[in-house]
Amino acid sequence: MARLAEKVAIITGGASGLGAATAQRFVEEGCRVMIADLNAETAASVSKKLGDNCSWCCVDHRDRNSAATMIESTISRWGRVDILYNNAGVPFAGSIETVTDEVLDRVFGNNLLGPYRMTQAALPALKESAQRNSDGAVILFTGSLQALKGRPNFTPYTASKHGIIGLVKGLALELAPHNIRVNAICPAATDTPMLKHFLPGMSKDINVAKKRFRESIPLGRLPEPTDTANAAVFLASPEAGMITGIALPVDGGATAY
């Protein structure tokens, strides 16, 4: 039996990278998926590729009205929301000395405040799902290896992702009585379109930067998007029914140092 059969999930930032890979894996496991993304053209393309069990909505997760409209659209389409995966975020690499208020607002708005507001918008639907279903409901967040440790030249990004772990731990305790599990997935630098934005923080030479990222991982390779997607399938499934409040590294052993 498919591990997410008959479930309904929302994936923010679902039109590319980790989000698109997770949308595909969720559909493969029997889930119906709403892709929430600012890029309407790409979201529509991914949704069409994944078939009738996938739809899309153009959403800015930083905006409460936009988030609420997306929740309403999902319920209108499939009747409920069982899984919210707060995946959308933005990168940052550079010296803290040159960071402007505009950049700070963008990084924290997308990486921390947006997931917070999206979660608030989805909570009534998730609570209703958890009351009807013994498996409960699930909230996932994309953290980062930088949510668990630090690295120079990524400080605003690191701070925003550390905030996600605080959010996960607080929500896990607050929502446990409602049968809602809350977890984060923390991948190392992954081979997605976003990777190029992180490379300057390691070296001005792209090849050197990739080599340094790779050498920091004991398994000797960068994660693929499917590595995170597979972790998301597990954490969203009843198999993880006793797991809440964790930040799961998908890092090839990098946090074992």
List the catalytic residues: 157
DSSP string, 11-72: EETTTSHHHHHHHHHHHHTT-EEEEEES-HHHHHHHHHHH-TTEEEEE--TTSHHHHHHHHH
54 bridge partner residues: 33
Apex 149 CA angle, 145 and 155, nearest 5: 90
85 bridge partner residues: 11, 140
Write the CB contacts of 43 (distance below 8 Å, at least 6 apart in sequence).
14, 15, 35, 36, 37, 56, 57, 58
Tell me the C-alpha to C-alpha distance, in Å, between residue 236 and each of 121, 242, 250. Answer: 19, 11, 16
Closest among 222, 159, 161, 164 to 188, alpha carbons compared: 222
